[in-house]
Structures are given as C-alpha cells and as structure tokens.
Amino acid sequence: MNINVTKPFLPPLAEYQAFLADVWRREWLTNHGPLSSELELRLKDYLGLDHLLFVTNGTIALQLGIRALNLTGEIITTPFSYVATTSTIVWEHCAPRMVDISPDSLNIDPNKIEEAITEKTSAIVATHVFGNLCDVGRIEAIARKHRLKVIYDAAHAFGTRYHGRSAFAYGDLSATSFHATKLFHTVEGGAVVCRSPELLKRVAQMRNFGHVSPTEFDEVGINGKNSEIHAAMGLCNLKYIDEIIARRGELFGLYKERLAGLPVGYQKILPECEYNHAYFPVIFESEATLLRVMATLNAHSINPRRYFYPSLSELDYVSQRDFTPISNDISRRILCLPLYFSLSHEEVDLVCRLIHRTLKY
C-alpha cells in the first residue's frame, strides 16, 4: 500500500449522507444554497472573522481578490509557492515581480521588498508558506508607506493563528483553498476573506457574474460560486478540525524526534504563530541528497513531494526573471514528507528509518 504525501480526511459516510439526503429533498444544488450559507457562518464563527465568502477554489479566490482591488501593473510576490500564486497574477494581466525569500521562514523576505517597488507597483501578494505566517507587521507597514494593497495567499493557513487571530484576518484580502489536499477541505473549494464590507460586497457580486438582481449586472463577473455538495463535505469536516490539527501536530513532533541528529534543516515558524502543521518539509544539504532519499522512499512505495519545485521565477511565462538565489536553492533541496490524519506512527517510523539509512550510507 502506498504512503503518499497526503491523503484527504473523510468524515463518517453516514454523516455526509445525512446532509446529502437534505440536498436531495430540497433539490437545491447550487446558487447560494442553505448549506453554503451555513458553512460560511460556521467558518466565520470558528475562525473569528467578520467576512468570508465560499468560492469555487483557491485560484478563483486569488483572481477575485486581484480584480476586486483593481490591481494593475506590477505585483510584488514570492517565487516560493504553488504555481497558482504566479499564474493568477499573469492571468489577471499583471506582472509578477519576484522578491526572494528568507532562508529561515521560507516566506517572502520583507527586507527585500522595498527595493523592488517601482512606480508601476500596485500590491504585494505574499504566501504563508506551508501555513507559516509571513511577517505581516512589516509587510503591511511597507504597504501603508507606499500605498500598496496586500493580498495573502493563505492556501495552507487554515487554523494558523497569530497573536490570537486567524491568519486570514491580515492584509486587505486573504485567499485560501479548501482543496482535498488541505487539512480542511470541501473536496474542491476556497474562500475569500476581507475586512472591508464594501470589498466583500464587490467580491460577492463578482463571484455571481456581477448580478445585483436577476436582470441587472453591476460589473463584469465570473462564476465563482460553490455547490451544496461541496458545502456538505465542509460542514462534516469542520466538526473534526481540532482533532485533525492536533493529530498533525503529534505526527509533526514524532518526525522531528525520529529525524534528530540528521544533517537536515527545517522551516522556522514565526514567533507568536500558532502553527497548524499543514506540511512537514525537510531541507537537505544538496539536491543530490534529496534525490537519493526520494529514490529510496519511492522504492518502498512512499511518495513524498517536492514542494515547491521549480522556483516560480524560473517559469517560462514570467517575463521579468528576477534574481532569487535563495528560492532557487531551497526549491532544489526541500522535500515534504507524508503527513495526514490517518498516517500511523509505524508509517512515520518507516519513513524516518529509510531516511536514516540513506543519509548514513
């Protein structure tokens, strides 16, 4: 049996079927149904947020954010993230301006942001990499100074808190993913979070084709809605989220214990950040070492993943190839090991024994 980098949490089938029975009875499948509305309310309550919109996926959430904030020209962003962070900026006819990362946090380095700002810069799009919060205080101070908007790609950050507040509570807008690979998921899905009620209203109209009434359209929009079927999965999974996060934290600690003494590095979590343990990334001494470890694990049906490789500054459609040596280097040496709710201690032990064996011989 394969041990993959992740496996979706699935609630008891009977609980999900109970929600589906109500969907069948109502015959209301999409277009802001009662389960979608309930999920939004429950998520706001759990996360301590004023405004949240359930949308199709995390990529659509980013697109809506860029469009709703009227961003143009250049957007400062990180080269160390999933490809959607950059491709969304390009899709919305803006130019990504890559700023290198901190070798400790793996997030965009605030010390390097200001030197990348030009008269064309309209915003900063920063990723909370692996759920580890960016230095939001410094980023937002820079944004205020230069009158820039801030969007956080918070796809990994469900459950992470900073100074007691949800990771989603920072910036002008946060976009997150509820994809099946995430620790909280709706199979496919995502959310837009913002503090401004006016911005929320605009995003809400945009996700529904720009409708203000059945026959009126306020502006150009897209179909960013999500379905009752997906909302049902979210409502089921939310019931178990504290248990899921606690289990991941337990496995995370076990990995650290079992890998102690090996020549590997780890991401440094921002102080005062209550981390959600979304991933377990390991940084090896060289790419050659990483490839040896991968080969050993793959030979035993264990499938870690090279998050995030390649560095996004190397993409063909990024016209401005900014100099990002740290991201380029880290992306070649970092590997995410399997981490999910149903992963057993014995499976973690197996992964770690194989890594020990590979690195010692």
In 32-146, DSSP assigns E strands to 52-55, 74-77, 95-98, 121-127
In the chain, DSSP assigns E strands to 3-4, 52-55, 74-77, 95-98, 121-127, 149-153, 161-162, 165-166, 173-177, 190-194, 211-213, 216-217, 273-274, 280-283, 302-303, 334-337
Q: Kindly state whether residues 259 and 313 are assigned to the same domain.
A: yes
Lookup: tokens for 187:
């199979």
Q: Kindly state whether residues 232 and 251 are assigned to the same domain.
A: no
Of 182, 212, 238, the residue that ends a domain is 238
What are 70-124's pLDDT values in tens digits? 999 999 999 999 999 999 999 999 999 999 999 999 999 999 999 999 999 999 9
The domain that contains 274 carries what CATH number?
3.90.1150.10
Q: Are 48 and 224 in contact (CB under 8 A)?
A: no
Q: Kindly state whether residues 307 and 214 are assigned to the same domain.
A: no
Say how many domains are in the chain. 2
Q: Kindly state whether residues 219 and 280 are assigned to the same domain.
A: no
pLDDT band at residue 210 under the 50/70/90 scheme? confident
Q: Kindly state whether residues 68 and 193 are assigned to the same domain.
A: yes
Q: Kindly state whether residues 245 and 222 are assigned to the same domain.
A: no
- The answer to whether residue 133 scores a pLDDT higher than 70 is yes
The domain that contains 130 carries what CATH number?
3.40.640.10
Of 218, 238, 258, the residue that ends a domain is 238
Q: Kindly state whether residues 148 and 215 are assigned to the same domain.
A: yes
pTM summary value: 0.96
Instruction: Give the model's pLDDT for residue 212.
Output: 80
Q: Kindly state whether residues 216 and 266 are assigned to the same domain.
A: no
Q: Kindly state whether residues 35 and 85 are assigned to the same domain.
A: yes
- The answer to whether residue 320 scores a pLDDT higher than 70 is no
Q: Kindly state whether residues 197 and 264 are assigned to the same domain.
A: no
Instruction: Give the model's pLDDT for residue 150.
Output: 98
What is the residue range of 51's domain? 4-238
Q: Kindly state whether residues 209 and 299 are assigned to the same domain.
A: no
Gap between the Cα atoms of 107 and 80, Å rounded: 7
Gap between the Cα atoms of 237 and 186, Å rounded: 8
Residue 43 CA, distance from chain mean position: 16
169 vs 212: which has the higher pLDDT: 169
pLDDT band at residue 321 under the 50/70/90 scheme? low
pLDDT band at residue 255 under the 50/70/90 scheme? very high
Of 238, 266, 281, the residue that ends a domain is 238
Q: Kindly state whether residues 261 and 225 are assigned to the same domain.
A: no
